């Protein structure tokens, strides 16, 4: 989530010797990489499927 990304960014900013300008070009390449995009879509799909399954389970068989 966005909150996790903010935490990671904060940790990196506090890390001695970390330079965001050095990692930015690599990060840009990763973001536009089709393989990374597919992986992100697969992960999002699996998370969504699990969430829907949990919701259905709760609706059909509440404890």
The model's pLDDT over 3-60, given as tens digits with 9 standing for 90+, comes to 888 898 899 889 999 888 888 899 889 888 999 999 999 999 999 999 999 999 999 9
End-to-end CA distance of the chain: 29
CB 18, CB 12: distance < 8 Å: yes
pLDDT at 63 exceeding the cut of 80? no
What's the confidence (pLDDT) of residue 55? 93
**CA nearest neighbour of 24 among 32, 16, 14:** 32
- Entry pTM: 0.55
What angle do helix axes 34-60 and 20-32 make, rounded to 10 degrees? Answer: 70
């Amino acid at each position: 989530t966005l909150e996790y990304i903010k935490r990671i960014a904060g940790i990196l900013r506090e890390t001695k010797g970390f330079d965001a300008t050095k990692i930015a070009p690599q990060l840009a390449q990763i973001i536009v990489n089709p393989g990374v995009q597919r992986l992100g879509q697969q992960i999002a799909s699996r998370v969504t499927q699990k969430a829907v399954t949990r919701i259905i389970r709760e609706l059909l068989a509440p404890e």
